[in-house]
Amino acid sequence: MTTMKIASHALLIGGEWVQPADGGSIPMIDPCSGEVFAHIAAGGARDIDRAVRAAQTALDGSWGRTPASERGRILQRWARLIEANLEELTLIEARDTGKPMNASRIDIQVTARYFDFYGGAADKLHGQVIPFLDGYTVNVLREPHGVTGHIIPWNYPAQQYGRTVAAALAAGNAAVIKPSEDACLSTLRLSELGLEAGVPGDALNVVTGLGEVAGAALSAHPGVNFLSFTGSPEVGTLVQASAARNHVPCTLELGGKSPQVVFADADLDRSVPVVVKAIVQHAGQTCSAGSRLLVQKEIYERFLGLVSEAFGKVRVGTPEMNLDCGPVMNATQRDRIRSFTQAAIDSGVPVLARGSFADGLPPQGFWVQPTLFGPVPREHSLACEEVFGPVLSAIPFEDEEDAIRLANATDYGLVGAVWTANGACQQRVSKRMRCGQVFINCYGAGGGVELPFGGVKKSGHGREKGFLALEHFTVTKTIVNYHG
């Protein structure tokens, strides 16, 4: 599908493409065909150590001395380079993740926006002067943490890169990035463009490799001053334990089981396509997927009739076909999703609708049929656990109080939506939802570059995106000066 211009078999450390200290490579599998299409370098602990040391030198040298306004200019130049290479990056991302080309293109455009946004914000991140006792001046500086470690998942590799790396660099940190071994080619190419834009090589390091090897080494490295992790709650727990051992802060962006709450007075025609897209997008492999559809009982039958009709039209295909979604990431994902759906069918949960496959799909691809279930019993695993696939669970509710209870009834708390024409109900429900983002009569924000994002409970902690991320990627220092 695409010719990789980058040295995908090497690591990027200190501005050079280098071979991993222990040698070795990892095959990259095309999710559409199940075939190997590239190899990446299998970085390990020694490579991570080398990358962290390179990043440390950037703090006292090149990057540390670059004024904020110049950092911003470099990031915005980077954004222009991403746009100039839009089609190549789109192909890379689609090949790596299997998502439709149109969706992949949007991902790259959003990635460029992160570099624009944080480039523009770099010289607007101010400290404070605090009124204090007579004869004193107190300044609160906002400083970078130092070396930031970025552990990135496979579902939105380019966007994840943009949202954490652009913010960290804008704030003056030096980055060491460990992308997912399942999809990391856009990370390599984006980093190459970063060097071209003018980021000093020692401030931008990428070590590809297995999570339990390179990822574990990065999270445990004592030279890392802040960890940004996006991925599963299980691995997030390990990363947080490593951060605790080194006494460094971390941001965890974990999974979700996000509810869409539809009241009887909602605009049903408007909500139906949004509800379907929110679970089908990237084959449900979106942390903020709207995977629980909570519907007021008065309209449950009618609304589910409309959703079933739309859901039945969902089509799965290759990136070039540009249908509603592509394959899932790998065989593990496929088998996990199928075990969820099979268990639901075996336990008698009704299937209301299923999407279909385009003709002629490669048989070895990781294809999963989108499925709408309902009514799903409230305690069922399908109602509570993250499937991370194109599986929507519909559940009826009685009234507002019941809806709020149900919306908050999982271990997760990432995103939620309220569909109603009643303004007071919109406010009451959105305030009582335990999650990091609520949408009213809409869902998703096209990347949401400007909007603080993150979860509560098992969905993680800390915030990324928006200006707030810059606060997370910095630390304050209070300077008390007695001058009489």
- Residue of 184, 250, 287, 325 marked active site: 287
Q: Which is nearer to ligand NAD, 71 or 465 (CB)?
A: 465
Least gap, CB of 441 to ligand NAD (angstroms): 23
Q: Is the peptide bond before 375 cis (omega within 30 degrees of 0)?
A: yes
Q: Which residues contact 242 (CB under 8 A, 6 or more apart)?
A: 216, 219, 220, 227
Residue nearest to ligand NAD (CB): 211
Q: Which is nearer to ligand NAD, 212 or 298 (CB)?
A: 212
Q: Which is nearer to ligand NAD, 238 or 352 (CB)?
A: 238
The structure tokens 């950092």 sit at 71
In angstroms, the CA 99 to CA 189 distance is 18
Least gap, CB of 227 to ligand NAD (angstroms): 9
Least gap, CB of 452 to ligand NAD (angstroms): 12
Whether 374 and 297 have beta carbons less than 8 Å apart is answered as no
Whether 315 and 323 have beta carbons less than 8 Å apart is answered as yes
Q: Which long-range contacts (CB under 8 A, 24 or more apart) does 63-67 make?
A: 63/169, 63/172, 63/174, 63/199, 63/200, 63/202, 63/203, 64/172, 64/174, 66/200, 67/123
Task: Calculate the alpha carbon distances from 62 to 13, 58, 71, 177, 199 in Å.
Answer: 15, 5, 11, 19, 9
Q: Which is nearer to ligand NAD, 295 or 387 (CB)?
A: 387
Least gap, CB of 198 to ligand NAD (angstroms): 27
Task: Say whether 16 is catalytic.
Answer: no
**Number of residues assigned to the chain:** 484
Least gap, CB of 253 to ligand NAD (angstroms): 3
Least gap, CB of 443 to ligand NAD (angstroms): 16
Q: Which is nearer to ligand NAD, 237 or 476 (CB)?
A: 237
Tell me which DSSP letter residue 180 carries. Answer: B
What does R_g of the chain's alpha carbons equal in angstroms? 23
Q: Which is nearer to ligand NAD, 166 or 238 (CB)?
A: 238
Closest to 376 (Cα-Cα) out of 416, 419, 340: 340
Helices (H), 362-399: 381-384
Q: Which long-range contacts (CB under 8 A, 24 or more apart) does 340-349 make?
A: 340/381, 340/382, 340/385, 340/387, 340/389, 340/391, 341/371, 341/373, 341/391, 343/381, 343/382, 344/373, 344/376, 344/380, 344/381, 344/382, 347/380, 349/373, 349/374, 349/376, 349/377, 349/380, 349/382
Task: Say whether 287 is catalytic.
Answer: yes
Tell me which DSSP letter residue 376 carries. Answer: P
Q: Which is nearer to ligand NAD, 280 or 295 (CB)?
A: 280
- Residue of 93, 253, 386, 464 marked active site: 253
Task: Calculate the alpha carbon distances from 64 to 191, 356, 467 in Å.
Answer: 19, 53, 21
In angstroms, the CA 354 to CA 278 distance is 16
In angstroms, the CA 78 to CA 71 distance is 11
Strand pairing report for 11-13 and 391-397? unpaired
Least gap, CB of 152 to ligand NAD (angstroms): 5
Cα–Cα–Cα angle for 280, 284, 289, rounded to 5 degrees: 95
Q: Which is nearer to ligand NAD, 107 or 253 (CB)?
A: 253
Residues that bind ligand NAD (CB under 6 A): 151-155, 178-181, 211-212, 215-216, 219, 230-232, 235, 238-239, 253-256, 287, 386, 388, 414, 460
Least gap, CB of 444 to ligand NAD (angstroms): 13
Least gap, CB of 359 to ligand NAD (angstroms): 30
Q: Which is nearer to ligand NAD, 386 or 400 (CB)?
A: 386
3-state secondary structure of 315: strand
Catalytic residue positions, numbered: 253, 287
